[in-house]
Chain A
Amino acid sequence: MSDPAPAPALPTAAVGRRRLPSLIWLIPVVAAAVGLWLIAHTWLEQGPIITMRFSSADGIEVGKTKIRYKSVDIGDVKVIEISEDRKAVVVSAQVTKSAWDLLSSDSKFFVVRPRISGGTVSGLSTLLSGAYIAIEPGTRKELSVNFIGLENPPEVTSDMQGREFTLHGEQLGSLAYGTPVFYRRVNVGHVTKFSLDSDGRGVEVGVFVNAPYDRFVSSNTHFWHASGVDVSLDANGLKVSTESLVAIIEGGIAFQELADLPPPQGPAPSGASFTLYDDRAQALQLPDLHREQYALYFPESLRGLSVGAPVDFRGIVVGEVKSLGVEYEKADSPIRFPVMIDVYPDRLRSRSLNGSSPGAYSQAKSRAIIDRLVAHGLRGQLRTGNLLTGQLYIALDFFPDASKAAIDWSGTPPVLATLPGGLTEIQDAVGRIARKLDRVPIEQLSGELSQALVSLDATLRSSQKLIGQLDSQVAPQATRTLGEAEQALRAANAVLAEDAPLQKDVQNALKQVAQSGRALAVLADYLERHPESLIHGKPEDPR
């Protein structure tokens, strides 16, 4: 190593201060920018905090429960509180920015839990993942952040094509949310809601019919309960019909158009109202546009007659029993049992006119027809529909022999004359016979009868005595007489025998008579040919 040459002169470092700060400071600037961007990004993604009121927070957990729209997470539950009135829970949730426009003031929130009903299984994924809150966006423009959550998921979501209809029925049957609606056994919709009518006299059922089947619903369409199994026994045998297995289990609604009516004016509008019939037969019969009420007073007991029992006009059901009752006018007047019936004159008329187009219904016309029928002997009668159960029905029939009657149309309702029923008639006849029998003086008769028997006994005894007398006195004499008679007959027999002398003599005598006869005939013949011989005598033989 050589000594380093003495540095000539240490070059002085050019110490120059740069005016600008070092590029290294870009790093914190970039870091700040990145950090700010990350935070800003996250913060900007966060949308508003919304609150929803539910009746219970069952299944909802802070931090875990999501808010989803079409299974896309759009928010998290942040806070669950009990409302101020302690009747509900208020769930606060953070919603992403992009979901802001889903928060219409009429948007609906509901908790999705696993639901298994007869036909459908839904929310199955929530079995494992827990419930989530789903949103069904509304249509209004204005937005909101405070909502009241639904307890049940809405059955119709905004993206479903179809129409909703309202049905009015007597009872709900086994319908529930989501119960299927069938058209010709195709599942075309479901029940979306049900409630009692405002007056509580029926139920209102909302159904949703999916497109494109909704166009089959027209003003002529009739809906009926397709619940369960329809078993009918008719002349063709036993017939079981049902809509589907699902309908057996959980019921259903079916609809069909009435074929007999004039074609409808296009499909029914959304929200149209229909009647929900109890069964198919009821739904598909022609609608009874008009209704006339009559009262009938029957002389016999109404046991076995129930509301709804048919009013039968020679086998055709033309009405039904509406109510049964008891009435009396004054305390001492006889108690009467009015039976109110509804008669559907449309059924009567459409059948009586037989094909010709029925004219417009008018009450006067209908009354004229009824008047004529009553004049011909139309009467109501209670008859037994079923001998086993004793169910009665009201038969309208003609009884030309019945005493004259007419309908007083001023009464409300008018009273239709009645006759005692078939069984009652028999009962009456038997009663009459019994009463007559009752009037017979049996005791007196029996006394007389015993007297007669005593005298008969005496008579018989005397006749027996007489017979004994005959036996002892008359019989020997008679035997003797008979023996004599036998002798006489035997003698006669001997006289009449073929070889008896008398017989021979008679034969000979008869032969001579025959010869005499023949000689006389010859003589007569000769005299006819020679009448002169009577005078001149028989000429000499010329020979």
Chain B
Amino acid sequence: MSCPRCAAVVHVRAPRSLERTSAYLLAAAILYVPANVLPVMHSSSLLVNQDDTILSGVVYLLRSGSWPLGVLVFFASIMVPLLKILALVLLVWMSACRSRAHMLARARLYRVVEFIGRWSMLDIFAVTLLVALVRMGRLASVLPGPGALAFAAVVVLTLLAAASFDARLIWDPAHGDV
């Protein structure tokens, strides 16, 4: 379809929305594994030289008593990306099946996913800040680990997946056309 005025190609629905979303989701799901297994941060100081994964950071926070922070990081960095991927998978799958169930709930879920997605970058943000700030030569230094890259990719891919999902697809089965 093209616009009679400007001849731009127009679409009734975002083209290939489900296909793109599921591709992004697949990529995010794949990278979710290294993001959690590989260390995101390598900190070295006079005393210790250590690699931290996200989960080890959470465990450390919980053990050292600052459990609110630990819970926050756990949710923001581990649960949120996971739930986001699952939610989007659910949305894509139900839309693909043209399911008419819980359409309102699904629309709200989509809005929540879109809103909450950006907060997952908290960890990456923290790591990049630390890397920039903690540069004291031999005394202490922090370097990003390979997990950070994977984790950032997961977050970006889920954001892209959420953005490429056309929310109208949720409602389409109600009208029975298009």
Contacts and interface: CB of A to CB of B under 8 A. Distances in A.
Given A25-B23, A32-B27, A39 B38 contact: yes
**Tier of interface size on chain B:** 20 to 34
Dominant SS among interface residues on chain B: helix
Interface string B10-46: 0000001001100110111011011001100000001
Contact of A27 (B47, B48, B157): B157
Contacts of B4: 7
Interface in A44-87: 63-64, 66, 73
B136 to A, nearest CB: 15
A31 B48 contact: no
A313 B153 CA distance: 97
Interface in A483-528: none
A39 B30 contact: no
A158 to B, nearest CB: 25
B141 to A, nearest CB: 15
A31 B157 contact: yes
Contacts of A28: 23-24, 26-27, 30
B126 interface: no
B50 interface: yes
A24 B163 CA distance: 14
A71 B24 CA distance: 44
Contact of B153 (A24, A31, A42): A31
A128 B46 contact: yes
Given A11-B1, A24-B20, A41-B146, A35 B50 contact: no
Contacts of A42: 37-38, 146
**Tier of interface size on chain A:** 20 to 34
A66 B16 contact: no
A418 B73 CA distance: 100
Given A22-B16, A128-B46, A39 B33 contact: yes
A528 B69 CA distance: 183
B150 interface: yes
A31 B32 CA distance: 10
Contacts of B50: 63-64
A31 B27 contact: yes
B23 A22 contact: yes
B48 to A, nearest CB: 6
A41 B146 CA distance: 10
B49 interface: yes
Given A27-B24, A28-B26, A34 B153 contact: yes
A413 to B, nearest CB: 69
Contacts of B2: 11
Interface string B39-80: 000000011111000000000000000000000000000000
Greatest chain B CB density within 10 A among A24, A25, A39, A125 is at A24
B46 A24 contact: no
B16 to A, nearest CB: 6
A537 B104 CA distance: 227
A418 B20 CA distance: 118
Contact of A35 (B16, B23, B31): B31
A15 to B, nearest CB: 10
Interface in B130-178: 146, 149-150, 153, 157
Greatest chain B CB density within 10 A among A13, A27, A42, A128 is at A27
Contacts of B157: 27, 31
A68 B136 CA distance: 23
A35 B26 contact: no
A39 B37 contact: yes
Nearest to A41: B146
A30 interface: yes
A40 to B, nearest CB: 10
B166 to A, nearest CB: 14
A25 B27 CA distance: 9
Nearest to B27: A31
B4 to A, nearest CB: 8
B39 to A, nearest CB: 9
A38 B35 CA distance: 10
A73 B38 contact: no
A129 interface: yes
Interface of B: 1-2, 4, 16, 19-20, 23-24, 26-28, 30-31, 33-34, 37-38, 46-50, 146, 149-150, 153, 157
14 contacts: A11-B2, A13-B1, A21-B19, A24-B19, A24-B20, A25-B19, A28-B30, A30-B27, A31-B157, A34-B31, A38-B38, A38-B150, A73-B49, A128-B47
Interface of A: 7, 11, 13, 21-22, 24-25, 27-28, 30-32, 34-35, 38-39, 41-42, 63-64, 66, 73, 125, 128-130
Given A31-B157, A38-B34, A38-B150, 6 more contacts: A7-B4, A24-B16, A25-B23, A34-B34, A64-B48, A129-B47
* In the complex, the 8 A-B pairs of residues with the closest C-beta atoms, listed nearest first: A31-B27, A28-B26, A28-B27, A24-B23, A38-B34, A24-B20, A32-B30, A27-B27
